[in-house]
Structure 1
Amino acid sequence: MSKKLASKSYNVPRGTIQSRLRKPCKDLPGPRPVLSTEEEEVLVQWVVDCCRKGFPKRKSDLQLSVASFLKKSGRENPFKDDIPGKKWYDLFMRRHPELSERTAEAVTSASANVSEKDIKGWFHKIELYLKENHYFDILQDPARVFNGDESNFQLCPKSGKVISLRGERDVYEVDHATAKTSLTVQFTFCANGDVTPPLVVFPNKRLPKDITSSVPDEWGIGLSDTGWMKSELFYDYIKNVFHPYLYKIKVTFPVILFVDGHKTHLSLEVSELCSKLQIVLIALYPNATRILQPADVSAFRPLKTAWKESVLKWRRDYPLETLTKNNFVPVLKEALEVGIKDTTIINGFRTTGLCPWNSDAINYNKCLNKGSKHDEEPKEDNLKRQDNSNKEKVMTREVFENIVGQEKITFLQRIPLENLTETESILKKICCFFENQEADTSTSKENYNEIENFTAVGFQDIAQLPVIAADDFVDDIQATTTITNEQYYNNTGDCLDSQQYLLTPVKLQDILITVKTPERKGVKNIERSSFVLTSAEWKKTENNKLKAKKLKEEEQETRKKNRLLKQDEKNKTIEPTRNKINKKAKGTIETKKQETEANLIQET
């Protein structure tokens, strides 16, 4: 495109275009940033790496890291106590739009160790089993694929912000229910978007009539001392709630039910029942429910939001009453009808790769383990950024001449060393190093030895200059650091790129603390059983575990009996000896008593 056409197309004066082509403007408007472009790139890469490893940084972490760098490097800055403020942080985020503030999801160390390889291995094993037993076609019918999980509902959830008088310091809200009281509910979601009748677990031994009358006929009721799910309750749920509902709506059997690896789902009684009822029970990969379970990925969050809104609505309707277990089921039913849409459940199954069956549909960026795809194949732009941040800046003779200028170099070569200022003396020694010739005849042999100690590696970064000289010269260099930086800005002009060679004894990389994703401490010596809880292999393993447990209990009982027998024999052996000792001691006491009485009589 010609200059004239560009001027008309973009409404830019032709003189401006010509001026920019002759002398490109590389300086940004406004004051220079405290950190150079390369240092900010290092800071950005540090934030990104820590976030991907499961240790995201906050605003205060960023500010304090920069403050530590500024204090140790002695670099001048306009910040109070060397700590960047809100304005610097806002401008930094504006200069790097690839960063943004997000709310982090809490992940356990065990969940952080799950990798893409683990999940794909689970998919491969399940697919192999389903194909061998002619169950794989079930996954083609969403109406025959289910996911079950429990969730906890508080009777007094957090209400959020309220309206009050401006400036009021004390704002209270009376609880409409017993604080921290909650109930467990078992849900099962279908891949076609349906929700099967749930099971509500009450922490009671007997239920009053008020509660039972409020529960719909299709729903299940469970009783538990702790209020949590138990193996017996899950067994009753499958037998009396889940299977009758499927039979009622005429679902084609067999069906597949995905559950997590909680111990309430791993009983042999449940496995036998599911096999009898033609329910293929499959356990998800351990510690990966946040990735593989549709209930956790898509269903429970909108349901909990609807629950809070339903509780607030109930409070508005009954402002003087308290929400109790008697009112729990009606409020939950309303939240269930409003909170979850069919598309939400369908999208959850698709995102987790369960229906349609597709291991590549999963977002493996959630895997924090170093074996994940993200760590093996980083994006191209991230590689370039990392290479640029780790690339060492080499000070060559051409770069040195561009910084100082040819006129200044000629001046330094002509003037003796003792007639130069401290800054000029340093520049003259560097010039002599590059030219590999002796300095002026007035230069002492000791100073020239300092120049010989400068190696090519030592000049990879001019920021190392204050620490590579001899001890008697360090103070002079450090004293002139600020002047050299100012002289660099005055002399560079437009001959350099954005790279800045600042005389700083500390690098930002030395200040930032790198973290690693938690790794497994050794390898557990366990034999992993089948993930299909209704398979013959799993039942065999579970039977072996029960037999081993029973054998261990019998051995403990036998050892206890033997220990008691030995104790009895020992007591029988000790008893005669103990009787003799007691008789002898008793006789001794009687004798002493008689002697004492005789002495008293004699004295009388």
Structure 2
Amino acid sequence: MASPLKQKRKQWSEKDMENAIGSVRNQNMGYLAAARAYKVPRSTLFCLCNTEGPPATVSKTKLGKRPILSAELEEELIRYLLIMDQKFFGLTRRDVRSLAFQLAKRNNIPHPFSLLRESAGKDWFPSFMHRHKNTLSLRKPTGTSLARAVGFNKENVTEFFDLLEKTMAERNYGPHQIYNVDESGLSIVQSRCPEVVSLRGKRQVGAITSAERGSLITIVMCMSAAGDFVPPMIIFPRKKASDQLKKGAPPGSMFAFHPSGWIQTDLFTKWFDHFL
């Protein structure tokens, strides 16, 4: 439900304010009479009437506390934030507040920022994000390795598709001859437990799992464009093989064992023989 203050603001439009300002300036009405006639706030009408400019322009003026940084400086800050985000070095709240302080100091702008911390206040950041809510938002990033960030660029992707197009034109492979292989990590411990009924006020509620910290199992999967599956390769995080771990696996599956549970070069070579 909207607050009473927001409901009052929605009851009048810029056109109502424009007409009220014109009536006051033409001395047809006083502030109080114009505010009642056009249903606009009297204090806002008083401030806008004393602002220079035609009523049509003045009625669109936003009152209140002005931003410390100018619109040009904030646009410069936004461009820098987006560039850093594209480079996988997105900035945190604290980084943005520190940059705001540096911009104000470099441009000799009077500011109430903390000189000791050399940072804008905590209240400045929500206001900054609200002013640019159509462009910026707070997001939780996904961990990306440096090798993937460097390797996935326009030049490499273009080279890959050029090579793919050339190969497809020469060989004319069918859907049953095109396979995609990928590996995925699977935790043997559930990450989220469902809610259970417990005693109100109890400090800690537990639920039995196979372990408190999960072990990662790697599964190598392969499928053709026609929908044909290759039996998977399952890599367990242990040194010695165990037939107990092979129970219930898909027919034809391949099993491997390594202390890390990750796929290694020699293991992928064995999988490729399995694929052929």
Correspondence for 1:35: 69
Which of 112, 127, 151 is matched with 1:91 structurally?
Answer: 127
Deviation by residue 1:575-604 (Cα, 9 ceiling, x = unmatched) = xxxxxxxxxxxxxxxxxxxxxxxxxxxxxx
CA distance in 1, matches of 2:231, 2:109: 66
Correspondence for 1:151: 184
Which of 57, 65, 71 is matched with 1:24 structurally?
Answer: 57
In the TM superposition, what is the alpha-carbon distance from 1:12 to its structure 2 partner? 3.7
CA distance in 1, matches of 2:266, 2:245: 21
Greater fraction helix: 1
CA contact (8 A) 1:155 1:178 kept: no
Deviation by residue 1:268-313 (Cα, 9 ceiling, x = unmatched) = xxxxxx4xxxxxxxxxxxxxxxxxxxxxxxxxxxxxxxxxxxxxxx
Could you state the TM-score of these two structures normalised by the residue count of structure 2?
Answer: 0.63
Deviation by residue 1:486-514 (Cα, 9 ceiling, x = unmatched) = xxxxxxxxxxxxxxxxxxxxxxxxxxxxx
Correspondence for 1:122: 160
Alignment of 1:137-286 (within 5 A): 137-138=173-174, 141=175, 143-159=176-192, 175-177=209-211, 179-192=213-226, 195-202=229-236, 203-208=238-243, 210-224=244-258, 227-230=261-264, 233-234=267-268, 236-238=270-272, 240=274, 242=275, 274=276
Alignment of 1:368-407 (within 5 A): none
CA distance in 1, matches of 2:168, 2:107: 63
CA contact (8 A) 2:189 2:209 kept: yes
Root mean square deviation, CA, Å = 3.9
CA distance in 2, matches of 1:34, 1:167: 47
CA distance in 2, matches of 1:58, 1:226: 33
Q: Residue 113 in 1 paired to residue 167 in 2?
A: no
Correspondence for 2:10: none
CA distance in 1, matches of 2:210, 2:179: 36
CA contact (8 A) 1:63 1:83 kept: yes
In the TM superposition, what is the alpha-carbon distance from 1:221 to its structure 2 partner? 2.6
The secondary structure found in structure 2 opposite 1:197 is strand
CA distance in 1, matches of 2:72, 2:145: 34
Distance 1:87 1:130, change over 3 A: same
In the TM superposition, what is the alpha-carbon distance from 1:226 to its structure 2 partner? 5.3
Deviation by residue 1:321-347 (Cα, 9 ceiling, x = unmatched) = xxxxxxxxxxxxxxxxxxxxxxxxxxx
**1:149 maps to amino acid:** D
Report the count of equivalent residues: 227
Contiguous gaps of at least 5 residues in structure 2: 1-12, 23-52
Distance 1:232 1:76, change over 3 A: closer
In the TM superposition, what is the alpha-carbon distance from 1:147 to its structure 2 partner? 0.9
**1:126 maps to amino acid:** L
Greater fraction strand: 2
Choose between structure 1 and 2 for higher RCO, CA contacts under 8 A separated by at least 6 residues. Answer: 1
Correspondence for 1:337: none
The secondary structure found in structure 2 opposite 1:24 is helix
In the TM superposition, what is the alpha-carbon distance from 1:187 to its structure 2 partner? 0.7
CA contact (8 A) 1:127 1:136 kept: no
Distance 1:194 1:226, change over 3 A: same
CA distance in 2, matches of 1:213, 1:111: 35
CA contact (8 A) 1:155 1:179 kept: no
In the TM superposition, what is the alpha-carbon distance from 1:131 to its structure 2 partner? 2.8
Please identify, of 147-156 and 169-178, the stretch whose mean Cα deviation from structure 2 is larger.
169-178
Alignment of 1:528-539 (within 5 A): none
Contiguous gaps of at least 5 residues in structure 1: 1-9, 243-273, 275-604
- CA radius of gyration, larger in: 1
CA distance in 2, matches of 1:166, 1:44: 47
CA distance in 2, matches of 1:223, 1:14: 76
Correspondence for 1:454: none
CA contact (8 A) 1:205 1:225 kept: no
Correspondence for 2:88: 54
